[in-house]
Amino acid sequence: MLDPHAWFTEIADPDGAAFSLRIKEKLHDEQSPYQHIEIYATEGFGNLMVIDGCTMLSTRDNFLYHEMMSHPALFTHPDPKRVCIIGGGDCGTLREVLKHPGVEQAVQIDIDERVTRLAERHFPELVSANTDPRARLLFQDGVRWIQEAEPGSLDLIIVDSTDPIGPAVGLFTSDFYAHCRRALGAAGILVQQSESPLYHLPILTAMHAAMRTAGFATTHTLFFPQPIYPSGWWSATLAATDQSLTSFRVEDARGKPFETQYYNAEIHAAALAQPEFVRRALEALSASS
């Protein structure tokens, strides 16, 4: 049993900041073939998953990330049926995707099976859709899977990755985005978590540049709160083959036949608004290209 006054702290050293949660006990600790995975029981946020020292998800606030990584892109595409999730081993994004009755198949490819097995044990609410007949779980290299995917075989690709370090570094390159573009059909959309706009703006702008280099016609970032992540403010960046990303199926979003805790049509519209410092950075990027 840990000291009752113990805390888990993730330090964002370049920004002189940190985020802490008071923990009751450590539930699990292992080094998988790919990364160091820890699970803690916290006082106020339920269970907490930590990978390589970085907070990944908590029971209390994971809905923010999982809903915003899935529903905006799904309601932007005119008729998404074939979905691929790269990463996402905790299965929360898969659960949200399969709330959409029009989705016919959802393939999740995560290199580390241990993340899913630990989610089954410590976050059972996230894996509730794993037995859905439309779901297919693969434990292999997502970059290679996309490289080998049939051209035009997907409507939506969700890159639910960790930070661009370790196994995830290959998911932030123009080569990877080019393979995604080839795998997407007409009106296809790619969405990827793009870090904190406050702490990681260079990563965000580099993603826009790499997506455009890969041949995507339009890119756009949406923003949402995420308390356990550095700065508490997160983003996801969308790329489309041939359509606007600032309009979506508003009436379908308003009449969605499933429950959410954060996402709705108004949140979707608001999340598309660009903070001035981000707008200026992206305008400078466009001017230089």
Cα(35)–Cα(30) distance, integer angstroms: 9
Give pLDDT, residue 251. Answer: 98
Q: CA distances (Å), 100 to each of 10, 16, 59, 67, 271, in order?
A: 35, 41, 22, 12, 20
Burial of 283 (0-12, 13-18, 19+ CB in 10 A): exposed
Cα(6)–Cα(140) distance, integer angstroms: 36
Catalytic residue among 160, 163, 175, 252: 160
- pLDDT digit string, tens, across residues 131-157: 999 999 999 999 999 999 999 999 999
Is residue 160 part of the annotated active site? The answer reads: yes
- Percent of all residues in the chain with a pLDDT value above 70, rounded to a whole number: 94
Give pLDDT, residue 91. Answer: 98
Give pLDDT, residue 287. Answer: 80
Give pLDDT, residue 240. Answer: 97
Residue 29 has pLDDT above 60, yes or no: yes
Residue 172 has pLDDT above 80, yes or no: no
Q: pLDDT band at residue 243, thresholds of 50, 70 and 90?
A: confident
- pLDDT digit string, tens, across residues 93-129: 999 999 999 999 999 999 999 999 999 999 999 999 9
Give pLDDT, residue 288. Answer: 76
Residue 4 has pLDDT above 80, yes or no: no
Cα(88)–Cα(126) distance, integer angstroms: 11
Phi and psi at residue 85, to the nearest 5°:
-115, 120
Give pLDDT, residue 161. Answer: 83
Q: Domains, the chain, ranges and CATH?
A: 7-58 (2.30.140.10), 62-246+262-288 (3.40.50.150)
- pLDDT digit string, tens, across residues 180-229: 999 999 999 999 999 999 999 999 999 999 999 999 999 999 999 999 99
Give pLDDT, residue 173. Answer: 87
Q: HSE, CB side, 13 Å, CA atoms: give it for residue 206.
A: 10
Q: Where are the beta strands (DSSP E) in 170-278?
A: 184-193, 218-225, 233-240
Give pLDDT, residue 241. Answer: 86
pTM of the model: 0.95
